Amino acid sequence: MGDWDYLPMRERSTSGGLSDDEMRIISFPTIADPVTERGEAATLGGINGWAVSSSAEPEAVEFLAFMLNEENQRQAASQEIVIPVAKGTSDALENQLYRTVATHIEESSYHQIFLDQFLGASVGATVNDVSADLAQGAITPEEGAAQVREAWDFR
């Protein structure tokens, strides 16, 4: 479901969970553009970050540059604090699962944040509800699409 839950899920498992050899990360399928017939590698997930306004103190910008420089990204990666965002720093990750995630991110040309975040609170909540209903077989894909469309139109 997400790399952020890897360690907590392992810690909560009464059986020890799956071994790293049994874990897999797969890319979201590439969908070709109907005009160019080419697809671009994309990733789907959340994002974390910092935001500063145009009137921010210079120290705020210096702090961000410090946190995101290659040396600090490598150090955070080696301690498994984060999957680094600075290209070329994922070599500091020892965990293969995290390395795979980092490789997918580095090779992607686009990152789509989770749809429940991207579409806003009301439509996003509908997407979450519809997803659960679809997984349980409580609704058809067509019914789910109609519910999302209704939420979109009503927003």
3-state secondary structure of 42: strand
pLDDT digits (tens, 9 = 90+) for 100-131: 888 888 888 888 888 888 999 999 999 999 99
How would you classify the pairing of strands 42-45 and 110-113?
Answer: parallel
* pLDDT for position 36: 67
User: Number of C-alpha atoms within 13 angstroms, CB side, residue 132?
Assistant: 6
Which sign, positive or negative, has the C-alpha torsion 71, 79, 48, 108?
Answer: positive
Bridge partners, residue 110, by sequence: 42
Q: Are 43 and 112 spatial neighbours (Cβ–Cβ below 8 Å)?
A: yes
Residue 37: CB partners within 8 Å, gap ≥ 6?
none
Q: Label residue 50 left, alpha or beta by phi (over 0 means left) and psi (-120 to 50 means alpha).
A: beta
pLDDT digits (tens, 9 = 90+) for 13-38: 788 777 777 877 777 677 777 776 77
In 3D, which of 150, 116, 149, 117 has the Cα closest to residue 132?
116
Which sign, positive or negative, has the C-alpha torsion 127, 84, 16, 24?
Answer: positive
* pLDDT for position 113: 86
* pLDDT for position 112: 83
Q: Where are the domains of the chain?
A: 3-113, 115-155
Distance, in Å, from the CA atom of 111 to the CA atom of 103, rounded to the nearest integer, reads: 13
Over the chain, what is the mean pLDDT?
Answer: 86
